[in-house]
Chains A and B, each alone.
Chain A
Amino acid sequence: MALTQEEILADLAEIVEEVAGVDAADVQMDKSFTGDLDVDSLTMVEVVVAAEEKFSVKIPDDAVKDLSTVGDAVGYIQKNQA
């Protein structure tokens, strides 16, 4: 069964907290990974790898550059989840 947007956001926030040390409560749809959450390029790759495993999605490198906000990532995962 497909996850809702809220469920994806909650799980993604947990990943960002673990990988980047950002409080999960700060991981909101409108936040930019680099500008607001201080997620650098290496951390972004870690987030992507963890998200691929968690949500059973493939996020190709080409797609990663378009994921500038948390909302972009949640949307991508929702659209592509198995």
Chain B
Amino acid sequence: MTARKSVVVTGVGATTPLGGDAASFWDGLLAGRSGVRNLTEEWAEQLPVRFAARVAVEPSAHLKPVEIRRLDRSAQFALIAAREAWKDAGFEGKSAEPNRLGVMVGSGIGGVTTLLSAYDDLLAKGPRSVGPRTVPMLMPNSPAAYVGLEFDARAGVHAPVSACATGAEAVGHAIEMIRSGRADVVLAGGTEAAIHPLPIAAFANMMAMSKRNDDPQHASRPFDVGRDGFVLGEGAGILVLESAEHAAARGARVYAEAAGVGFSADSHDIAQPEPDGRGVAEALAFALEDADLTPGDVRHLNAHATSTPRGDLAEIMAFRKILGSAAEDVAVSATKSMHGHLLGGTGAIESVATVLALHHRQAPPTINIEELDPEVTLDIVRDKPRALPEGQIAALNDSFGFGGHNVVVAFKSV
């Protein structure tokens, strides 16, 4: 039996509410900044939630006008982050072997603003006014397709869709795509651009969002007794994953090993996790096994922690159940407190954060915890970053989505 291929991370890219690239995103995390702002658009006035975490840098600063015109905002974010990750990995132009290059980039909701504005045009001006690019802009695989076109990826261009687990699921499938031998290099991640009155009204009516309109920057408060739901964000994260062999052959810098992934499904409820976190626990156990880790190897967790009352506790219970007493030595960060919840993009930017945490040996803080929920019996990194131990350590990124999707990606230091 041949040894399983090791997969490494050689490039990162991100466009987020904390910064328009991975370096400024990381700086924002360490500084404990909030990317949440009041929504000033006229449409926001009637909504029950009037704040969100918009990207720090508008795509128009990075893209040509014709790219802005042809791509839904979600694909714009993905392309910006992919270009950054590609360059960061040391590639230039279309410099990888096309038949060995893959793309795995998902979105939770897809081109929702394109769809809804095309419908507005249809009603106002008739069918001839509906742009011929409407379908290629609204389809959820559009960001993946454009990233594939940009870099001439021919080994397979895929777009997982699993709500808020999408970004992490993409990273997990990319690991498996490389292990299976279908590709040497995969651009993987997630993107979302859903700050629009319809998704906001819909999420708010599900009671999933914080309505702290008088104090938006303190609205996302994972693990705090006063948490009342998530804060919507937007943006994208992309990682360049590569077989260790391929990275070594071209002398690439390696941030971390993408060591394994655990997938599971709750099959319990469309919107709520099982209260005891059974599905989450299974995904955690699978990830540890897949990455060949023992609980004692894990020293950092980037938690999903959306700051919904039930979700945060289910995650904590699952983590304690699988890691046992080793959980005491894990520094837990809930970075959504700063960047909000990017839905399909969130597992991707949190994977970027987890990789950078291992690379820099720093766990980002969790902000806005005024009174820690007494049921949260884990070591939460609060207010300022914490140094991670030297030596060989592992870090996990948890992501869960409506529909009962659970994904845990395991990274190891190099």
Residues of A within 8 A of B (CB): 18-21, 42, 45-46, 49, 52
Contact = CB atoms under 8 A, between A and B. Distances in A.
B133 interface: yes
A45 to B, nearest CB: 4
B250 interface: no
B66 A45 contact: no
Contact of A46 (B64, B65, B67, B133): B133
B90 interface: no
Nearest to A20: B66
Interface string B124-135: 000011011100
A21 B66 contact: yes
Contacts of A20: 66
A11 to B, nearest CB: 18
B136 A42 contact: yes
A49 B128 contact: yes
Contact count band on B: 10 to 19
A11 B66 CA distance: 18
A40 to B, nearest CB: 10
B131 A49 contact: yes
B69 interface: yes
Contacts of B136: 42
A46 B131 contact: yes
Nearest to B136: A42
B133 A21 contact: no
A21 B129 contact: no
13 contacts: A19-B66, A19-B69, A21-B65, A21-B66, A42-B132, A42-B136, A45-B132, A46-B131, A46-B133, A49-B128, A49-B129, A49-B131, A52-B128
A25 to B, nearest CB: 16
Nearest to A42: B132
Q: Across chains A and B, which 3 residue pairs bring their CB atoms closest together, nearest first?
A: A21-B66, A45-B132, A42-B132
In this complex, the member of B64, B66, B136 whose beta carbon has the largest number of chain A beta carbons within 10 angstroms is: B66
A66 to B, nearest CB: 18
Contact of A21 (B64, B128, B132): B64
Interface of B: 64-67, 69, 128-129, 131-133, 136
Nearest to A49: B128
B129 A18 contact: no
A21 B66 CA distance: 5
Nearest to B131: A46
Contacts of A21: 64-67
A19 B65 CA distance: 9
Nearest to A48: B132
B150 to A, nearest CB: 15
A20 B67 CA distance: 9
Nearest to A45: B132
A21 B70 CA distance: 10
Contacts of B133: 42, 46
B128 A18 contact: no
B136 to A, nearest CB: 7
A14 to B, nearest CB: 13
Nearest to A52: B128
B128 to A, nearest CB: 7
Contacts of B66: 18-21
Contacts of B132: 42, 45-46, 49
Nearest to A53: B129
Contacts of A19: 66, 69
A65 to B, nearest CB: 15
A18 B65 contact: yes
A57 to B, nearest CB: 13
Given A42-B132, A42-B133, 13 more contacts: A18-B65, A18-B69, A19-B66, A19-B69, A21-B64, A21-B65, A42-B136, A45-B132, A46-B131, A46-B132, A49-B129, A49-B131, A49-B132
Contacts of A52: 128
A49 B121 CA distance: 13
Contacts of A42: 132-133, 136
Contacts of A49: 128-129, 131-132
Nearest to B65: A21
Contacts of A45: 132
A18 B69 CA distance: 9
A20 B65 CA distance: 9
A30 B67 CA distance: 26
